[in-house]
Amino acid sequence: MYTLHKSALFMRQWQAYAQNYKDRAGIQIAERFIAAVEGALLFIGTSPLSCPLYDTSKEEALKFHHFRRWNVSKFPHTLFFRLEETQIFVDLIYAQRMDIAHRFIVDTFDP
């Protein structure tokens, strides 16, 4: 059994994406996005080892971190998390069109 923890940054990003969908496409799309993220979190919480590792080998600052990723169904977003024994730490959610490698370092290591 795993315990899932959502970082404050993840929660802010999730809220910002949901608000963006609400503003641009309406409440129904925003609600579908929220439900899709909740479904991704449920999957991660029950089957974290099924999620592929995110390749951090090219970034020196991330070299020793083992992040996993899972795509949000029907939306162009990916959740990034770490697995430590029975603890799952969901750290980030990014739109897939972003420069994820750069954002990862900025969001993870800059104060």
Residue with the bigger pLDDT between 111 and 78: it is 78
Q: What tokens were used for 74?
A: 């029907």
pLDDT over 50 at 111, yes or no: no
- List all residues 6 or more positions away from 100 whose beta carbon is below 8 Å from its beta carbon: 78, 94
Q: What angle do CA 78, 33, 19 make, to 5 degrees?
A: 100
- State the chain's mean pLDDT as an integer: 90
What is the total count of domains within the chain?
1
| Band (106; pLDDT cuts 50, 70, 90) | confident
pLDDT at 109: 64
pLDDT over 70 at 10, yes or no: yes
Euclidean distance between CA atoms 41 and 37, whole angstroms: 6
Euclidean distance between CA atoms 46 and 83, whole angstroms: 12
Helix (H, G, I), strand (E, B) or coil at 20: helix
Looking at 61-70, 80-89, 93-102, which range is the least confident one?
61-70
Range of the domain at 104: 3-109
Assign residue 96 a region: left if phi > 0, alpha if psi is -120 to 50, beta otherwise? alpha
Q: What is the CATH number of the domain that holds 90?
A: 3.30.2310.20
pLDDT over 60 at 110, yes or no: no
pLDDT over 90 at 5, yes or no: yes
Residue with the bigger pLDDT between 53 and 105: it is 53
- pLDDT for 21-63, tens place per residue? 999 999 999 999 999 999 999 999 999 999 999 876 666 656 6
Residue 68 half-sphere exposure toward CB, CA atoms < 13 A: 19
